[in-house]
Amino acid sequence: MPAALSDAAFLRACRRERAAYTPVWFMRQAGRSLPEYLTARGDTAMLQACLRTDLVVELTMQPVRRYGVDAAILFSDIVLPLHAAGLELDIVSGVGPVVASPVRTSADVDRIPSLSPEQVAPVTDAVRALVAELGATPLIGFAGAPFTLASYLIEGGPSRDHARTKALMYGDEATWHALAGRLAEVASTYLRLQVEAGASAVQLFDSWAGALSAEDYARYVLPHSARVLGSVPADVPKIHFGVGTGELLELMGEAGADVVGVDWRVPLDEAARRVGPGRALQGNLDPAVVFAPWPVVAERVRDVLRRGKAAEGHVFNLGHGVFPDTDPDVLARVVDVVHEESRG
Ligand code: CP3
């Protein structure tokens, strides 16, 4: 890795080293909030777009150009590797991932294919092209964690309460572990391929893990996510994120994260106490705050920065993804405030 890249503020913060300023990027920084995204995507279906090298490169670069964020995140989706491996699913606009035949029995689990490198060649080609274009700006690769992927597969689509997922977990533990094990293997392969192609950090999205108690998370989920994170080379920073995970922050760190992602519900100073020493934090401006008048936004950004000082390393982000109707000019100003204020 070139020295300028290895020394980037984002990677330094992930490694809990002093950085010249607090690095910032936004989950879902590429997407419908950007007019240039809508133009470039046109009527290309989401999963099709994720397998077109030229589009992946362009859509990944757009927020880097516009905002001057300190990291790029690969334009892809958590269900992309399952789709590429041959599982029948789609991403429906305004809904999310929808699965043709839900997975609920051990026979269903057996139909989950494994992922081979050539199936995601357009993605790894895009990673290589991006690393060349990004220079000293790090590229974050990512995958969906076994619980969050399993929820889409078991429910057949997005779910508020994850009731069927929990019913399988609690009622048929062997089938649950078989399913989570397969999904861990797919996620590990997808992350390994992105890292081999040049991604310099990874994020494991367990977006819906906050639906579980700490006890159930530790028993049914943590071992599988730990396998995924453990499969990534030690020198590649690993970020582990979920929504509503205030009660799980310590366990999500123990699963093997260098950086624990925090949503907007737990202030970062309290999150640092819960996570304990030896890990950095990422977060956690409420993504809805950007709709408030600018002085309120600026004060909230400063508050996140102040509280983030309690962590051994801080990567500024939203507490969840950018809402599609967010004004990109406000996000650009947030980046500027984070950089100016944290330079001290
Ligand atoms: O962050 C980025 O800019 C990188 C791209 C990215 C996408 N999905 C692109 C996308 C990332 C990191 C994801 C991860 C993802 N996908 C997660 C974890 C992050 C989170 O939000 O918690 C989850 C749960 C999914 C599943 C998924 N895919 C959802 C819930 C949706 C939104 C459905 C909708 O239309 O509101 C998608 C589709 C999706 N993934 C879009 C994008 C840009 C929208 C596609 C469109 O333009 O229609």
Q: Residue 171 Cα, ligand 1 centroid: separation in angstroms? A: 30
71 lines ligand 1 (CB under 6 A): no
Counting beta carbons within 10 angstroms of the beta carbon of residue 200, is it exposed (0 to 12), middle (13 to 18) or buried (19 or more)?
A: buried
- CATH class of the domain at 3-342: alpha beta
31 lines ligand 1 (CB under 6 A): yes
Q: Which long-range contacts (CB under 8 A, 24 or more apart) does 113-118 make?
A: 113/85, 113/86, 113/87, 114/85, 114/182, 114/185, 114/186, 114/189, 115/81, 115/84, 115/85, 115/186, 115/189, 115/190, 116/85, 117/189, 117/193
Interval 51-77: pLDDT, tens: 999 999 999 999 999 999 999 999 999
Question: What confidence tier does 102 reach under pLDDT thresholds 50, 70, 90?
Answer: very high
16, 59, 202, 334 from 31: Cα distances, Å: 30, 8, 19, 18
User: Is pLDDT of 245 > 80?
Assistant: yes
Report, as an integer, the average pLDDT of 15-24. 98
Residue 232, pLDDT score: 98
67 lines ligand 1 (CB under 6 A): no
Query: Is 28 an annotated catalytic residue?
Result: yes
Q: Which long-range contacts (CB under 8 A, 24 or more apart) does 37-40 make?
A: 37/62
51, 193, 241, 319 from 147: Cα distances, Å: 24, 21, 12, 20
Query: Is 41 an annotated catalytic residue?
Result: yes
Q: What is the pTM of this model?
A: 0.98
Query: Is 300 an annotated catalytic residue?
Result: no
- 143 by DSSP, 3-state: which? strand
Backbone angles phi, psi at 96, to 5 degrees: 125, -165
Question: What confidence tier does 249 reach under pLDDT thresholds 50, 70, 90?
Answer: very high
Residue whose structure tokens are 């690393």: 131
Domain ranges in the chain?
3-342
What's the rounded Cα separation, in Å, for the pair 244 and 61?
29
What's the rounded Cα separation, in Å, for the pair 54 and 51?
9
